[in-house]
Structure 1
Amino acid sequence: MSKGKLIKSSAIVMVLIILGKICAIFRDALIANKFGVTYITDMYTISLGVVYLLTTVSYGLTTTFIPIHTEYIQKTSKEKANKFVNNVLNVYTVFTIIVIVILMIFSKQIIYIFAHGLTNNKEIFNTSVDIIRIMVLSLVFISIQSVITGVLQAHQEFYEPAAMSLASNLVFIVYLMFLTNKFGIYGFAISTVIGFLVQLIINLPKYKKLGYKYEFHFNIFDKDLKKIVILMTPIIISTSLLQLNLFINRAFATNIYYGAPTILDFSNKINTLAYEVFAIGIAMVVYPTLSSFAAEGNEKEYKNALVQSINIILLIMVPASIAIGVLRMPLITLIFKSGAFDNNAVNLTSNALLFYCPAMIAYGLRDILNKAFYAIKDTTTPMINSFIGIIINVAINIILIKYMKVSGLTLATSISITIVTILMLLNLDKKLENIDLKSVVMSFLKIIIASILMGVFIYEINKICLLYMGLTKITSIISLVICTIVGSIVYFLVIYLFKVKEFVYLIDIIKNKLKK
């Protein structure tokens, strides 16, 4: 994929993800309004966490499937590629059904281990078990979807996978707006399952258009399936550890007070706004490109694409992290404050979010670095680093939770993910024998200076707005709009003056388009 096409595809994917994220914000606002910071949202958060913990298998499958299927596309016939896809699809679906049955049988034990704070009340405990049993049904749709989206991305078709969040969030919004009062948390659990089904459905038309059709092939001894299992095992361990890290944080939080897991979850959702919109979109587009260069043995273009992606991530995530840290109060007020989500919840979430913000940058870089390792079929290094990260996180959690409560958990996450990301960057530089870290560091220094200058401007503007108008939804909107406009102008002007090449290249593309 050419540099121009990479940026164009990334931009369209980001637009789709932004639309999905807008719906996600609206969904979260409705959750806060309907359920507040209570044991009900804690139950849902923990149950969804179980589902996401198991989706790491699907993530590992998709990640290893893409480069192997890319080789099928490049080197074999359509018939062989179709047979390979169907075999993976059938074997993985059967495996998933077995896992679902096991989870349903041991759902009580899951609550005891990962959400012990919910076992103190028998009614809350029984409801939590029911919710988990409903929501794990999502896994069968997630497993099928992971193979289908892998096929699409191997063909460099990104738009349908990028639209999945938008589709599922629309399902949640309809339920929360019109059906919550009648069916409560049980109905919301069912709507979550339906949401994952919708994510699968929107990928099927493009999948069929590419010429794939369902056939029953079931061979667990297929050599390429074995290759996927071998390669995906470290990825599953690595990503499971990342999800387990979140799970451990929630487990710590359940023992602080009712609602603490929800505070942790809401602050994390705000923190990952920019990450989920931009970093995931860029990683989705760049991974097949890196896989293609790696398969061709084109090390020079591989390194160029990698450095370009890292710099684009920094260009977006550094100012986003500082802006969200500065504007956290109006953001939380605007999105969540209503109904059962009161001033106290706003303050608690704001405090937790402040210490989460540095993690945003590290999350974005980590995703690109993981994809870079996976593209060259090194799945072990990210796994080892994930082990290191979880050990660091737990150790810091134990120390900080006594003094900082939920904020201690978010600070521990930021410290651990930053350390792990730096280690991964150094490991990759060593493995590839120099990826031009000097260029990355120079871009980062320019970006951080521009971001700090932007932060000073928006801090003063936000302070004036709050001083004269108070903290209300209207004030929050006014402050956020003014800060976004002024902050963007300051940041982009400084970045352009500093001649950060990815930004200058983007400006040149826009200029050429306007001339035409």
Structure 2
Amino acid sequence: MTQKSNPPEPARLPRPPGLLRSSGVVGCMTMLSRILGLVRDMVIARYFGAGTGADAFFVAFKIPNFLRRLFAEGAFNQAFVPVLSSYRQQQPLAEVHRLVNAVAGTLGLVLLGVTLVAMLGAPLLTAVFAPGFMDDDEKFTLASDMLRITFPYLLLVSLTAFAGAILNSYDRFAVPAFTPVLLNLAMICAAVFLSPLMQTPIMALAWGVFIAGALQLFFQLPFLMRLGLLPRPKVDYRHEGVRKVLTLMAPAIFGVSVSQINLLLDTVLASFLQTGSVSWLYYSDRLSELPLGVFGIAIATVILPNLSRKHAAESRDQFAATLDWAIRAVLLIGLPAALALVLLAEPLIATLFFYGEVTARDVTMSAQSLRAYSAGLLAFMLIKVLAPGFFARQDTKTPVKIGIIAMVANMVFNLILVFPLAHAGLALATSLSAWLNTTLLWRGLKKEGAWAAQAGWGRFLLQLALANAALVAVILYLSPPVADWLAAGGDRRSLDMGILVAAGGLTYFVALALVGIRLRHFRLR
């Protein structure tokens, strides 16, 4: 008698690591990347300053980088990870591989077409994203020429983000978090070694971006091979998983990536302001992104596949508890980071960038926009952890509505604040719209029951207030006047900043311990 064969069972899944441990791994790798990113920006500032060439490069780099965040790490990641997590939870490995192959082929074909069109239409893109450059032929031509070199980065890094999303879904967080280190190393090497060999030295940075994209993609492929999920691209728009990803992607573009759209609008308007405005915004944005990337994005990276699995398993209470954990973790780190950036704006800018072609005026102007961005840092971080609460449940419509409201509000804030505050007004408008976005996301999750306040919020907020008060007191007491920072040499600035950071960090964490907050309180599996 022939036995009836049973359908293949999904592979037994290992118990995932705790959220605190996973966030720590991603945070450490991201910290390394961000530190090298700051070194990269210090090198760029030393070699190119904040003049015409730097402004042109930052626009040529920001356009594909913005689209990367919008489509690859924003819309695509938020749509693909929940679908992949569902397949991982409910389907055998062969079906997961079919999904990966179909998405790789479809995504790759679309990205290739977009890249070719963008390279041909580089001057048009430059005119759209930096219309103020049209009054300066040299700056406009330079930005357009560099954009043709940097835009393929979108294709390469989007496929890198696709590979990283697969690894994250299987709780392999370290490799995708380490990958951006390669971008920083490539750009540093390009500035130091390649720029002296080129007729137009700033063009070396554009080639550094292109090389970095290829390095990042090929670095992740061996790790996909170990999982048995190395893609064999196949264009298949009819695959059920691909159709689901595409359905979720379109509205997700306006969800988690609204802050990136707002930052790009800042660049567009800054191109009409005095020369240096684009660079001032870039340097201040880079500093505000350090805590955002190390902590906010690290937590968001970890909780999205976790929330997706909890939703697939219909664990409503655990879903709400995970979101609550993420919000508390963001407040624990984001609030002191924002306060420190506000209080140490000029010292930080001076310590990192006051070399070579950068002037004291550049430090002052960059510090103005850094304070404005810092006012919204906590909101930027909260958006990163609140939006996955919708995407994990495959709800992209609600973040879309909220994103459109926030984007329109940002435009209004820009028009109101750019005249009295110039480039700093653009940064402040971005922060205000981020707070509006955060409030609406939080209210939506609470209304739908996806988030519910866990016990101990009142005590936790009081503990945070006391610890942050101690941090502020120490910074104000130890920090010299701004004039002393500008007059000191680079070594002295670095030493003084190191002492301030160490003293402030030690004070904050000792204060947390004294008021009763312990590491074990944030261990959630």
TM-score range, shorter chain: over 0.9
TM (norm. structure 1) is 0.93
Partner residue in 2 for 1:223: 240
Match of 2:354 among 308, 317, 337: 337
Residue number among 178, 193, 200 corresponding to 1:163 in the alignment: 178
Q: 1:97 aligns with which of 86, 102, 112?
A: 112
Compared with structure 1, are the counterparts of its residues 272 and 124 closer, same or farther at alpha carbon in structure 2 (3 Å cutoff)? same
Unpaired segments of 5 or more residues in structure 1? Answer: 509-516
Q: Tell me the CA shift for residue 493 of structure 1.
A: 2.7
Higher percent of residues as helix = 1
Who is 2:32 aligned against?
Answer: 19
Instruction: Give me the whole-angstrom Cα distance separating, in 2, the residues matched to 1:274 and 1:107.
Output: 33
Q: Which moved more, 1:16-25 or 1:387-396?
A: 387-396
The CA distance in 1 between the partners of 2:485 and 2:33, in whole Å, is: 34
Aligned residue among 373, 378, 389 for 1:356: 373
Is there any run of 5+ residues in structure 2 with no aligned partner, and where?
Answer: 1-13
Pair 1:388–1:31, CA change in 2 (3 A): same
SS in structure 2 at match of 1:272: helix
Partner of residue 283, structure 1:
300
Structure 2: distance between partners of 1:263 and 1:121: 19
- 1:437, distance to aligned residue in structure 2 (A): 6.9
Q: Which residue of structure 2 aligns with residue 58 of structure 1?
A: 72
Alpha-carbon distance between aligned partners in 2 of 1:271 and 1:51, rounded to the nearest angstrom: 20
Q: How does 1:307-322 map to 2 (within 5 A)?
A: 307-322=324-339
- How many Å separate the matches in 1 of 2:15 and 2:420? 51
Q: Which residue does 1:382 correspond to in 2?
A: 399
Distance 1:439 1:430 in 2: 20
Q: CA deviation at 1:446?
A: 3.0
CA distance, structure 2, for counterparts of residue 261 and residue 437 of structure 1: 43
> Identity of aligned pairs, percent?
25
What corresponds to 1:474 in structure 2?
A: 491
**Alignment counterpart, residue 402 of structure 1, candidates 416, 419, 423:** 419
Residue number in structure 1 paired with 2:41: 28
Question: Per-residue CA shift, 1:479-510, capped at 9, x if unaligned?
Answer: 32222232223222332233346x453699xx
**2:307 and 2:392 in contact (8 A); partners too:** yes
Aligned residue-pair number:
508
Q: C-alpha distance in 1, partners of 2:440/2:257? A: 19
Q: Which residue matches 2:88?
A: 73
Task: Kindly indicate whether the alpha-carbon contact (under 8 Å) linking 1:38 and 1:258 is maintained by their aligned counterparts in 2.
Answer: yes
Change in 2 beyond 3 A, CA 1:169/1:178: same
Closer/same/farther in 2, CA of residues 457 and 120 from structure 1, 3 Å limit: same
- Mapped partners of 1:350, 1:110: distance in 2: 29
Counterpart secondary structure, 2:236? coil
More deviation in 456-465 or 307-316?
456-465
Question: Counterpart of 2:452 in 1: which secondary structure?
Answer: coil
Quote the Cα distance in structure 2 between the aligned partners of 1:93 and 1:442. Answer: 50
Contact 2:33 2:181 in 1 (8 A): yes
**Contact preservation (8 Å) 2:26, 2:174:** yes
CA distance in 1, matches of 2:172, 2:390: 22
Distance in 1 between the 2:56 and 2:486 partners? 37
Q: SS of the counterpart of 1:463? A: coil
Between the aligned partners of 2:109 and 2:226, the Cα distance in structure 1 is 26
Q: Distance in 1 between the 2:513 and 2:170 partners?
A: 35
Separation in 1 of the partners of 2:266 and 2:372? 14
Summarize deviations over 1:223-253 as a string: whole Å, max 9, x none. 2211111111111233554322111111111
Q: Distance in 1 between matches of 2:486 and 2:120?
A: 55
Partner amino acid, structure 1, of 2:76? L
Contact 2:329 2:522 in 1 (8 A): no
Cα drift, residue 338 of structure 1: 0.7
**Cα distance change, pair 464–189 in 1 and its aligned pair in 2 (3 A):** closer
Cα distance, 1:448–1:418 mapped onto 2, change above 3 Å: farther
Question: Does 2:344 correspond to 1:327?
Answer: yes
State whether structure 2 residue 325 is matched by structure 1 residue 305.
Answer: no
Distance in 1 (CA, whole Å) between partners of 2:451 and 2:98 is 40
Tell me how far 1:84 sits from its aligned partner: 1.3
Residue 478 (structure 2) pairs with residue 461 (structure 1): yes
TM superposition shift of 1:208? 0.2
SS in 2 for 1:72: helix
- Is structure 2 residue 203 aligned with structure 1 residue 203? no
Q: 1:416 to 1:472 in 2, by over 3 A?
A: farther
Distance 1:405 1:381 in 2: 33
Cα pair 2:84 2:169 within 8 Å, conserved:
yes
Aligned residue type for 1:16: M
Answer with 98-107 or 299-308: which moved more: 98-107
Task: Name the residue aligned to 2:521.
Answer: 505
1:51–1:203 Cα change, 3 Å: same
Matched-pair contact (CA < 8 Å) for 2:156–2:214: yes
Kindly report which structure 2 residues correspond to 1:1-12, keeping only aligned pairs within 5 A, or say none.
5-12=18-25
**Alpha-carbon shift at residue 343 of structure 1 (Å):** 0.8
Residue 155 (structure 2) pairs with residue 178 (structure 1): no
Which residue of 2 is the match for residue 42 of structure 1?
Answer: 55
The 3-state SS of whatever aligns with 2:18 is helix
Query: Which residue of structure 2 aligns with residue 106 of structure 1?
Result: 121
The residue identity in structure 2 corresponding to 1:95 is: V
